[in-house]
Copies of this chain bind each other. A is one copy, B any other.
Amino acid sequence: MAQTVGILGGGQLARMMAIAGAPLGLRFRVVDTVKDACASQVAPLICADYNDFDAITAFSEGIDVVTFDFENVPADTAMFLASRVPVFPNPQALAVAQDRLEEKQLFQRLGMLTPEFATVDSREDLEAGVAKVGLPAILKTRRLGYDGKGQVRIKSKDDLNAAWAKLGDVPLILEAMVPFEREISVVAVRGRGGEFATYPLTQNFHQNSILSASLSPAPNTGAIQETAVGYARRLAEELDYVGVFALELFVHQGRLLANEMAPRVHNSGHWTIEGARTSQFENHLRAVLGWPLGGTEAHETSVLLNWIGEVPDALPVLSEPLGHWHDYGKTPRAGRKVGHATFTGPAAEVAAALGRLAAALNRPDQIEPVLEAMKA
């Protein structure tokens, strides 16, 4: 009989999960606080607050497994669901990833290098933190941040009062701003039986603190490949993690520094839909259902371009034989991820297509850094 997967959160990650699961005969049920969340176009959606335990109870009836579209589901809700139905990743893993401080402390316990950091619970802590990690630094809320939200850069001591005024009412972490050469992510998957696999390392590019592009495989990762995969595996095993997750790493002076973990399918893995044997979305579903994992190899080069705010003209992408178009069906809004494009093929052909696209869409700032990295 058809199995039904419940998803907390109804954004584009839930949407792409439902699209990936449909061929497998899976059914879906989604909860979101917004009625027209974009996953509702492809799966039945229950509109409810995550703290509405009556609604969460109704949601849980008759579903086979619960998973997440985003990591900020209240821990109580995850725990409540876990008492009724299998929940993957497990609520404890989710809780660790929800807190930047716990996460960084875990990285250190597991022997992973990280940027310097300090706990900041008071104005005095902030002074002490600056003394410890140095400047420039970045002050972040420990919880609920994403895409550059909930953080302030501190360049000099003159910025401290403003930073404290902006964020000081919640627990914080101060992190050294590492002048890293590049950011890479490991998108990994672990099954219910402990099977573990990773996709090729991916190099990430940002604009305004939001992922703007990804390139996979990341070039020249010979020296860091094994360390990166080892970090991801250690983390997954420590958390008894089940499903797909991403580990973001800075490359600084040839060393890897663990930045953060996303306990879910990840934007830097969207290229796997066309570029890998099995997409991250299908592999996440396979993992949480206890099925065997699908192949994670990629034999070609893939470049992902994020559409932020609104989708551009589709024609230049659709006109490229290597181009794949994704529109999440969301209403345009500044800073919102509304779609992406993926180019998959031989590296030289992908680069040529991107060159044409940069001109056609007039987006040199988004595309040229990727082309630079591909030349390296």
Contact = CB atoms under 8 A, between A and B. Distances in A.
Interface in A253-307: 273, 277-278, 286, 291-292, 294-295, 297
Contact of A19 (B22, B286, B325, B339): B22
A295 B322 contact: yes
Given A19-B19, A27-B41, A41-B22, A286 B318 contact: yes
B291 A318 contact: yes
Most interface-central of A273, A286, A291 (chain B CB within 10 A): A291
Contacts of A273: 23
A2 B328 CA distance: 10
A321 B277 CA distance: 8
A102 interface: no
Nearest to A311: B25
A311 B2 CA distance: 12
Contacts of A319: 292
Contacts of A278: 324
Given A19-B19, A22-B19, A328-B25, A292 B315 contact: yes
A297 B329 CA distance: 29
Contacts of A22: 15, 19, 41-42
Given A277-B322, A286-B318, A322-B277, A339 B25 contact: yes
Nearest to A346: B299
Interface in A304-352: 311, 314-315, 318-319, 321-329, 339, 345
A24 interface: yes
A200 to B, nearest CB: 15
B292 A327 contact: no
B41 A327 contact: no
A211 B178 CA distance: 59
A286 B315 CA distance: 11
A149 to B, nearest CB: 26
A19 B27 contact: no
Interface of A: 2, 15-16, 19, 22-25, 27, 41-42, 273, 277-278, 286, 291-292, 294-295, 297, 311, 314-315, 318-319, 321-329, 339, 345
Minimum-distance CB pairs A-B, first 3: A25-B327, A295-B321, A292-B319
